Structure 1
Amino acid sequence: MLSCHCLYPSLLQDFCVVDNMSTVRVNGFPCKDAKDVVAEDFFFPGLHMAGNTTNKQGSAVTQVNVAQIAGLNTLGISLARIDYAPFGLNPPHTHPRATEILTVLEGSLYVGFVTSNPDNKLFTKVLNKGDVFVFPEGLIHFQFNYGTKSTVALAALSSQNPGVITVANAVFGSKPSISDDVLAKAFQVDKQTIDRIQAQF
């Protein structure tokens, strides 16, 4: 595996800052030469601003990962601000490359994750301001604001590029679509039901 330590024999040897012009890549991202790295490569403004929750889910995720802060590449961390309208949902999803630790800053949330097959055990908790909950890497998890006030949470993730797979979007909104026959059999419903669900995505 290519290491940034051998690329940059300088004070910045521990960083591999993303630069769209470079041909050297680490973790799939092109890297800047150390002499071209600037403070802005480690900076993200405005996380205090609420996200737009006027959508079907009633939630907004503001990601701060390697796509927003170039200097995060190879550092193994990122974060996200999540805003929830009353009864807003961050729908069931997974991060294939990261464990998530979530802290409620304002309001309350009903959160949970499901273990892998064959147990599929559901772990849930109601979180209030200041409470923290961990979602293990790769497991399907969710957050729901069951209250009448807006909620804000901050999530830290153990990867500079954690990825996200929203279950419903992946299953019902794939391009091209997964066959109705496959989905109808998997969910034990008729094809018309599958068509209605796919139309939402």
Structure 2
Amino acid sequence: MKVVNFLVALAVLALVFSSAIAYDPSPLQDFCVASNGSDSAVFVNGKFCKDPNHATADDFFFSGLNMAGNTSNQLGVHINIIDADVIPGLNTNGITLVRIDFAANGGLNPPHNHPRAAELLTVLEGTVYAGFVTSNPDHRLFTKVLKPGDVFLFPFGLIHFQLNIGKTPAVALAVLTSQNPGVDTIANAVFGSNPPINPDVLTKAFHLDKNLVSKLQKQVWVDPSE
């Protein structure tokens, strides 16, 4: 019985520990303004901390989020990421802010996921079709048509997308629950990997003709955040 109890306790501890490390660490100070200088004494969340006595209001400030991004690319989308590299004071606060601009008539933020964050999307302008797909084995699709003032949640790590279905440009703001959420654009990863994945793998996995797979692997895959 003692062995069973010990194994159960060990399993619970493992579960708690794995959950604890799945998110950004909690800050242990009021702030840790990110610094590129390695002469600082503290290294937190991948950034050196500026001496707090030298912090200024500018370390917590950004101007220009009202400026529209250039959507004249293959996808018709532009993503402006506001993270700790842009606002140094965001370091250790577990937040990333994103402005997404969509071209009229089909601007697309393609299917992707954030391995380290959930995302809350708010539409400011236009009409956006948004959705996410649950993981194995169900693959349930949840979608909504969003208009200005509407908010939609993309749960942690799930594949999701946004498409402008309106005749005018659209704008949305997204908040992600990590200062380094990461992004994995599905088509880019699958067909644009370097070096390329063996076409036999993709042909069988996606039920595609091998010639089509080879053609897709030769395409230029756009990074929406560039």
Q: Same fold (TM over 0.5)?
A: yes
Specify the code of the residue in structure 2 equivalent to 1:77.
I
Q: Are the counterparts in 1 of residues 121 and 153 from structure 2 also a CA contact under 8 Å?
A: yes
Shift of 1:38: 2.2
Please list, as runs of the form range in 1=range in 2, the aligned pairs for 1:38-187 lying within 5 A after superposition. Answer: 38-86=56-104, 87-187=106-206
CA distance in 2, matches of 1:172, 1:27: 32
CA distance in 2, matches of 1:195, 1:83: 31
The residue matched to 2:123 in structure 1 has which SS? Answer: strand
CA distance in 1, matches of 2:216, 2:48: 39
Aligned identity (percent) is: 61
Shift of 1:4: 5.1
CA distance in 2, matches of 1:176, 1:30: 34
Q: Are the counterparts in 1 of residues 27 and 93 from structure 2 also a CA contact under 8 Å?
A: no
Shift of 1:146: 1.1
Specify the code of the residue in structure 1 equivalent to 2:165.
Y
Specify the code of the residue in structure 2 equivalent to 1:91.
P
Change (3 A) 1:190 1:152: same
Change (3 A) 1:38 1:53: same
Shift of 1:115: 0.3
Q: Give TM-score, length-normalised by structure 1.
A: 0.90
CA distance in 2, matches of 1:28, 1:188: 41
Specify the code of the residue in structure 2 equivalent to 1:142.
F
Q: Are the counterparts in 2 of residues 22 and 32 from structure 1 also a CA contact under 8 Å?
A: no
Q: Are the counterparts in 1 of residues 123 and 171 from structure 2 also a CA contact under 8 Å?
A: yes
| Alignment RMSD (CA, Å) | 1.7
Change (3 A) 1:168 1:70: same
Bigger radius of gyration among the two: 2
Moved over 4 A (4+): 1-4
Q: Which has the higher helix share?
A: 2
CA displacement 1:73-106 (0-9 Å, x = unmatched):
1101121111101110010011111111111111
CA displacement 1:28-85 (0-9 Å, x = unmatched):
2222222232222211110000000000100111111112111111101121111101
The residue matched to 2:213 in structure 1 has which SS? Answer: helix
Q: 2:34 is matched with which residue?
A: 18
Specify the code of the residue in structure 1 equivalent to 2:85.
A
The residue matched to 2:98 in structure 1 has which SS? Answer: strand
Shift of 1:3: 6.9
Specify the code of the residue in structure 2 equivalent to 1:16.
C
Shift of 1:180: 1.4
Q: Give TM-score, length-normalised by structure 2.
A: 0.81
Change (3 A) 1:94 1:41: same
